[in-house]
Amino acid sequence: MMGVVLVIIDGLGDEYIESLGGTPLDYASSRMRALNTMAAEGVCGIMHPISPGVPPSSDIGHLAIFGYDIRREYPGRGYFEAMGAGIRLKDGVAFRVNLATVERRGRNLIVIDRRAGRISGSDAEELYRALDAAIKERGLQAEIVHTFEHRGVLILRGEELCGAVCDTDPHEVGVPVLAAEPWDEISSGLREIAARVAAMINEITRLSYDVLEHHDINARRRREGLPPANIILVRGGGVARRIASFREKWGMRAAFVAAGPLYKGIARALGMDEMHVEGATGTPNTNLPGKVEACIRALDMGYDFVYLHIKGTDNLSHDKKPLEKAKFLMRIDEALSPLLDLEDVLIVVTGDHATSSIRGRHIGLPVPIVFWGTTHRDNVTRFSERECSRGCLGVLRGKDVMPLIMDLTDRSAELGTRPSKNLLLL
């Protein structure tokens, strides 16, 4: 059976950038070789991860592409974040956390930077540890751990917990930090539990400001002109839930190559096996050739399906750096070229959503997609949003990707046929 490499370039699509004369991918694609070869020799389309105008978070975009039903099978982001940090949730509830920069104004805390200048390394590590110690000291049934850069996971322990509370993260700057509260549409049975969880989050958020605002590291950061990481922003509650594994769903043995904790968490939750790559960081300075090499190694090891995640494009869009995004796309293109030497492998390249390098946020425009390694082809010769929209696959949704992979690798069964699993015996 044909192997599959699915490359998800995070936040691949974008808007028209005046100075680039197109999207970052338009700009990059005039100098790309591997991806344009795939477009020329394969079949293309554009893809709305969910539906037109609906910008998904990365985990939801991924799950849709992996063929999961978001309404029925989504356990909440925190679950994946915890899995990514190597934490087993059991009865608890986990939340995604950012270290962020706020300024006090009266009784409000105004968000200045949702990522505290992408604080990372030992600074971030130490601040998370200080907050965790304060949580323990106060006797709260909770822990907080650093994952990567500004990111972390907050876990509330205990029985009868749920993730149905609103984000304290306002998702924009210049506005106050929000108070966690139960979702509006919650069932009355869960409301009391959610209210308890929300109260804990609000207590820990206030505590984070107390602990971090005057922490030595932030005093030093201020002296160095860096934004202090003086609060945590909380979002995306999730509880442990049994999800059908990728193999149960699609019958393929899957491995993954990803550095970002969320993406590791998703892949682990779906039962994919991890391929370790030295120097893979989940940022633009990642070891791209190493990641591609790991994909080839996984195929050699007999995996049917390899998921490769590249995160840096999304970071650069959030930071409103379209030219750097375009340059990073060129490096991705170069790194992917060894895949063109593979035989009997389907290579699929797409994104989990578009991210605007102008607006610095996920947007609801479609992303291009290419399938290379099939016997089919169309008229597209360049891998970009506008060129792929002329591809023979037309306009896809995220949920169409896996059925197309199954079909293009001869794994699909004709709808209406139903071979038995048992043999007829004489």
Q: Quick one: which of 6, 38, 60, 156 contacts a copy of itself (CB under 8 A)?
A: 60
| Rounded alpha-carbon distances, angstroms, from residue 412 to 42, 402, 405, 418 | 19, 10, 9, 12
Is beta strand 93-105 parallel, antiparallel or unpaired with respect to 151-156? Answer: antiparallel
Contacts of a copy of itself in 227-286 (CB under 8 A): 235-236
- Integer Cα distance of 326 and 22 in angstroms: 10
Q: Does residue 77 bind a copy of itself (CB under 8 A)? A: yes
Q: Does residue 402 bind a copy of itself (CB under 8 A)? A: yes
Q: Does residue 177 bind a copy of itself (CB under 8 A)? A: yes
The least CB distance from residue 287 to a copy of itself, in Å, is 29
Q: Which is nearer to a copy of itself, 280 or 401 (CB)?
A: 401
- Integer Cα distance of 10 and 388 in angstroms: 17
Q: Quick one: which of 253, 297, 321, 386 contacts a copy of itself (CB under 8 A)?
A: 386
Contacts of a copy of itself in 88-107 (CB under 8 A): 104, 107
Q: Quick one: which of 2, 55, 199, 249 contacts a copy of itself (CB under 8 A)?
A: 55
Q: Does residue 360 bind a copy of itself (CB under 8 A)? A: no
- Tell me the window of 32-40, 54-62, 217-225, 271-279 that interacts with a copy of itself (CB under 8 A): 54-62
Q: Quick one: which of 141, 245, 285, 412 contacts a copy of itself (CB under 8 A)?
A: 412
Looking up tokens 């070869």 gives: 37
* HSE, side-chain direction, 13 A CA sphere, residue 239: 14
Q: Which is nearer to a copy of itself, 219 or 395 (CB)?
A: 395
Q: Which is nearer to a copy of itself, 121 or 426 (CB)?
A: 426
- Tell me the window of 132-140, 242-250, 295-303, 392-400 that interacts with a copy of itself (CB under 8 A): 392-400
- Integer Cα distance of 94 and 343 in angstroms: 42
Q: Does residue 138 bind a copy of itself (CB under 8 A)? A: no
Q: Quick one: which of 123, 169, 304, 314 contacts a copy of itself (CB under 8 A)?
A: 169
Task: To the nearest 10°, report the CA torsion of 106, 108, 111, 115.
Answer: 120
Structure tokens at 323: 């030219």
- Tell me the window of 116-124, 161-169, 247-255, 297-305 that interacts with a copy of itself (CB under 8 A): 161-169
Q: Does residue 359 bind a copy of itself (CB under 8 A)? A: yes
- Please, which contacts does 372-375 make with residues 24 or more away whose CB atoms are closer than 8 Å? 372/37, 372/38, 372/39, 372/41, 372/42, 372/340, 372/346, 372/347, 372/348, 373/2, 373/42, 373/342, 373/344, 373/345, 373/346, 373/347, 373/408, 374/42, 374/43, 374/346, 374/408
Q: Does residue 404 bind a copy of itself (CB under 8 A)? A: yes
Q: The dihedral of CA 116, 119, 123, 129: what is its sign?
A: positive
Q: Is 408 helix (H, G, I), strand (E, B) or coil?
A: helix
> 100 forms bridges with which residues in the sheet?
231
Q: Does residue 71 bind a copy of itself (CB under 8 A)? A: no
Structure tokens at 307: 């998921």
Q: Quick one: which of 217, 347, 363, 370 contacts a copy of itself (CB under 8 A)?
A: 363
> 344 forms bridges with which residues in the sheet?
none
The least CB distance from residue 46 to a copy of itself, in Å, is 6
Q: Which is nearer to a copy of itself, 56 or 282 (CB)?
A: 56
Q: Count of residues binding a copy of itself (CB under 8 A)?
A: 90
Question: What letter does residue 259 receive in the DSSP assignment?
Answer: -
3-state SS record for 349-395 = EECCCEEECCCCEEECCCEEEEEECCCCCCCCCCCCHHHHCCCCCCE
Q: Does residue 187 bind a copy of itself (CB under 8 A)? A: no
Q: Does residue 376 bind a copy of itself (CB under 8 A)? A: yes
Q: Does residue 171 bind a copy of itself (CB under 8 A)? A: yes
The least CB distance from residue 67 to a copy of itself, in Å, is 10
Q: Which is nearer to a copy of itself, 53 or 139 (CB)?
A: 53
Q: Does residue 38 bind a copy of itself (CB under 8 A)? A: no
- Read off φ and ψ for residue 110, nearest 5 degrees: -90, 130
The least CB distance from residue 120 to a copy of itself, in Å, is 23
Q: Does residue 214 bind a copy of itself (CB under 8 A)? A: no
Q: Which is nearer to a copy of itself, 286 or 355 (CB)?
A: 355
Q: Which is nearer to a copy of itself, 80 or 148 (CB)?
A: 80
